[in-house]
Amino acid sequence: MRRAFAPNWPARLGLLALAVYSIWATSQLGITGERLATGLGEGGRFLARMWPPDFTRWELLVEGLVESMQIAVISTALGIILSLPLGLMAARNLAPAWLSAPTRGFIAVCRSLHYVIVAILFVKAIGFGALAGVAALTVASLGFVAKLFAEAIEEISMKQVEAVRASGAGPAAVLLYGVLPQVASRFIGFSLYQLDSNLRNSTLVGIVGAGGIGGTLFAAFKRFDYDFVAAILLAIIALIFAAEIVAGRIRAALQ
């Protein structure tokens, strides 16, 4: 009989190995049906204590949220400003190798550590508070935006750049007229996306002492004020939803 579909033995063996390993690892971690049942029971009690959410300390809540928003906006702005030159310096089609290689290395270092780890480092280095949060999220933003910006520049049409250069324009004028028009809309898109994720991230850095609503949330957890925890979580969700709607509107307006 002629065979219409070749069997993919490597894929079958791989899937089998994954299934076997998952079962083994589950038993190693002591995850049993019994453990799951207690866990679910605890979860139910926890949820019951969160209801109803307690908004009586709304001033504390608003203060934390405002600080988180400020951290997010400032760090996004700083990140974007730093990403512009870094992205240009990292683009291999515009910058010479001696410049692009170390810049790419620097951007990779900024991206390699999770922003919570960077926040802990900054809290240790420059002390508790919003400044550490701003510094940590700035590093995260420039890692993300500069990398995508450099990639966008590497995809531009060099023919358009060549034509501007042929007119006798200097390097800065070539950037202004030949390069930036080709990448401006994508750069704005990356920046908006980063503002969005910085809003989310800025609610977390407070847990390690770097300012914002996260600190309030962590304190509420430690005092078992689960109804206040619920209020904070609802407020964060509302903030993120609102930010997403605004970002969507801006994106649509830019199309």
Partner 1 sequence: MTQPILEIRGLVKEYQPGKPVLRGIDLSIGAQGITAIIGPSGTGKSTLLRCVNRLVEPTQGSIMMGGQDLARLRGGALRAARRRIGMVFQEYNLVERLSVMENVLTGRLGYVPLWRAWLRRYPREDLDRAFALLDAVGLPEQATRRADALSGGQRQRVGIARALMQSPALLLADEPTSSLDPKTAVEVMELMARLTGEAGVPVIVNIHNVELAKRFAVRIIGMTGGRVVFDGPPDAISNDHLSEIYGGEDWL
Of the candidates 237, 229, 201, 189, the one whose C-alpha atom is nearest the C-alpha of residue 69 is 201
Q: Under a CB-based contact definition with an 8 Å cutoff, are residues 145 and 87 in contact?
A: yes
Rule CB under 8 A: say whether 84 interacts with partner 1: no
User: How many C-beta atoms surround the C-beta of residue 215 within 10 A?
Assistant: 22
> What residues contact 100, with CB distance under 8 A and at least 6 apart?
89, 90, 91, 92
Rule CB under 8 A: say whether 70 interacts with partner 1: no
Q: How far is the CB of 169 from partner 1 (least distance, A)?
A: 4
* Cα gap 146→108, rounded to integer Å: 10
Compose the 147-166 pattern: x for residues touching partner 1 by CB under 8 A, - for all others: ----------x-xx-xxxxx
Helices in 51-96 by DSSP H: which ranges? Answer: 58-90
Q: Which residue's CB is nearer to partner 1, number 131 or number 188?
A: 188
Rule CB under 8 A: say whether 170 interacts with partner 1: yes
Q: Which residue's CB is nearer to partner 1, number 127 or number 181?
A: 181
Q: How far is the CB of 171 from partner 1 (least distance, A)?
A: 9
* Cα gap 49→224, rounded to integer Å: 9
Compose the 174-193 pattern: x for residues touching partner 1 by CB under 8 A, - for all others: x-xxx--xx-xx--------
Rule CB under 8 A: say whether 212 interacts with partner 1: no
* Cα gap 77→85, rounded to integer Å: 14
Q: Which residue's CB is nearer to partner 1, number 11 or number 166?
A: 166
Q: Which residue's CB is nearer to partner 1, number 177 or number 218?
A: 177
Size of the site for partner 1 (CB under 8 A): 22
By 3-state DSSP, what share of the chain in percent is helix, strand and coil, each rounded to 5? 80, 0, 20
Residues forming contacts to partner 1 in the complex (CB under 8 A) are 157, 159-160, 162-170, 172-174, 176-178, 181-182, 184-185
